[in-house]
Structure 1
Amino acid sequence: MADTSAPAPVDASQRIAFAVIAGMAGVLGLILTIDGIWRTISIAIGTEGIELLARGDLPGADARISTATVLSSEVGGSSLGFLVAGSTATLLVTAATYLAVVVFLVLAARGTPFHHLLYRVALVAGTVMTFGGLAGSALSGVGRVQAADHLGAVPDGPFEAAFTIAPGDWSFGVVVLVAAYVIRIGQRLQRDTEGLV
């Protein structure tokens, strides 16, 4: 059976381009991962701003507020635990996403963009992005709801015991999971048709 991971011809300019992009993605991923670690630590020690849904008039202006930012030291112990857990899940999603991008670019630079390792990397990254992203959003959301209750929720207080989940990494993770299975099918077809053309 033919080895579908054998290197394909890649000229020097393509190799350099993929290597440069991989380096840039790696640096960006490292910066975002460090930022995520710092944000998680800041939440835990009480110095990070947490945005909560709120209602009320803006003092000194003819306007109303829809959100308010409070320090994580003010939100209460149980909500702080959920916020730290949500930030940690989001951090793992960020790290997995950029690691998968770098692996793909390195494989492309080597001339093996459809190496057997790519399916596993895409599958793991897609799973982490989908379920880790949902978990991060849900945990952070529960933390925000508890924080609103602790600080004073509507109707007596200004905060709303609610949160929003916007499509983000978790929704793109579904696309990556689909791509992983398309890659798997393509690898099998490539093995089965090797030498027929």
Structure 2
Amino acid sequence: MGTTTKRMANLVEKTILGFVAGAAGAIGVLETVFLVRRVAELAASDPTTISGVRLAEPVPADVGGSAAVVSAEYDTVTLVIEGLSDAARGALIAAIVLGSLLTIGICMVLVWLCLRVFVGKPFVRSATWGVAGVAILVLLAGLVAPFLRGIASTEAVAQVGADGALLIAELNLAPLGWASALIVIAGAFEIGQRLQRDTEALV
């Protein structure tokens, strides 16, 4: 009875690992396809749409005279620009690439970790470096990408001769926290790798 239960548990575990790995792999492939498509469209499309351009000061918004609304205003706009400069277009493409690389990187590492757990040896150097690489991508996507979008907005606003876009996006320190947590996890994998190696040497 105990052996049968153990076999069933192993089967369920491997099924779950296979499902997670397959789903992560599919998401990574789809994100890669979407990334190529978005970059190609952005590089060739004219006019170009830039959303989330921040205004220097909020502007009152008309809500149709609803008695339930005390006041309304908006602080971002969407610009549709024809003949966008190469600098703004390049910044937008770089921001999109960084965001997609984070998703693709997470999926790749998740697939690899599932495979390593499946074979019973999760603590390998490649897993450690994979988690550390994702930590770097979190920093790039969370801190650099918004800065690049700010550059694109500033270039676009300057091109149309308007005023109001902010070069620096609002600072969000959450990526620092996530990256730090991933670095700690990478360190744990490194320790696990040494322990696994020592255990194999004793056998």
CA drift at 1:23: 0.7
Matches of residues 169-184 of structure 1 in structure 2 within 5 Å? Answer: 171-184=177-190
| Residue identity in the other structure for 1:139 | L
Distance 2:136 2:168 in 1: 27
The aligned counterpart of 1:58 is 61
Give 3-state SS (helix, strand or coil) of 1:11's partner: helix
Q: CA separation in 1, counterparts of 2:81 and 2:18?
A: 40
Matched, 1:135 2:144: yes
Of the three residues 102, 105, 121, the one matched with 1:96 is: 105
Residue 35 (structure 1) aligned with residue 44 (structure 2): no
Q: Is the 8 A contact 1:131 1:170 kept in 2?
A: no
- Per-residue Cα deviation, 1:135-159 (whole angstroms, up to 9, x for no partner): 32322222222223333114xxxx5
| Higher relative contact order, chain-length normalized (CA < 8 Å, sep 6+) | 1
Question: Which residue of structure 1 lines up, in the alignment, with residue 127 of structure 2?
Answer: 118
TM-score by length of 1: 0.75
Matched, 1:17 2:27: no
Amino acid at match of 2:112: V
Task: Letter of the 1:153 partner, please give it.
Answer: D
Q: CA deviation at 1:103?
A: 1.0
Residue deviations 1:3-44, cap 9 Å, x none? xxxxxx982221111001111111122223333333333332
Whichever residue aligns with residue 19 of structure 1, its letter is G
| Structure 2: gaps (5+ residues) | 1-6, 66-71
Q: CA RMSD in A?
A: 3.1
- Residues 19 and 169 of structure 1: CA distance in aligned 2, closer, same or farther (over 3 Å): farther
Provide the C-alpha distance between the structure 2 equivalents of 1:147 and 1:170, rounded to a whole number of angstroms.
Answer: 29
Unpaired runs of 5+ residues, structure 1, are 1-8
With over 3 angstroms needed to count, the CA separation of the structure-2 counterparts of 1:170 and 1:61, relative to structure 1, is farther
Contact kept in structure 2, 1:145 and 1:163, CA below 8 Å: no
CA contact (8 A) 1:72 1:80 kept: no
Q: Which residue of 2 aligns with 1:107?
A: 116
Between the two proteins, the alignment pairs up a number of residues equal to: 185
